[in-house]
Amino acid sequence: RKEVEQDPGPFNVPEGATVAFNCTYSNSASQSFFWYRQDCRKEPKLLMSVYSSGNEDGRFTAQLNRASQYISLLIRDSKLSDSATYLCAVPGTRALTFGSGTRLQVQP
């Protein structure tokens, strides 16, 4: 099993929809997790941190399920500008391990 796994998508959703992505991890000792957003040909940018049971920031909610070893990202009221690739990151021995990303395409 890979350390961090994500469904590559793409997720094609209409504007205003609610969409959720999952990210599974294999290192059960992880204490903090992150979601990054990456636009085409740009660098990843930190979207949210998830340190305990979850985190909410406006339309974005991140949840952690330790028992099942996954984190999720929920986006409500999707905007065209949310179209991007969403990467999850899990602490490894020395550095963050990234998933391959889930591509989201919000359509008008």
Partner 1 sequence: GAGVSQSPRYKVAKRGQDVALRCDPISGHVSLFWYQQALGQGPEFLTYFQNEAQLDKSGLPSDRFFAERPEGSVSTLKIQRTQQEDSAVYLCASSPGANYGYTFGSGTRLTVV
User: What is the closest distance, in whole angstroms, from the C-beta atom of residue 16 to partner 1 in the complex?
Assistant: 28
Burial of 67 (0-12, 13-18, 19+ CB in 10 A): exposed
Asked if 2 and 26 touch (Cβ cutoff 8 Å), the reply is yes
Please measure the distance between the N-terminal and C-terminal CA atoms of the chain and give it in whole angstroms: 37
Question: Which listed residue (71, 89, 90, 104) binds partner 1 by CB under 8 A?
Answer: 89
Question: Which listed residue (28, 43, 52, 58) binds partner 1 by CB under 8 A?
Answer: 43
Which residues make up the interface to partner 1 (CB under 8 A)? 4, 6, 8, 31-32, 34, 36, 42-46, 49, 51, 87, 89, 91-101
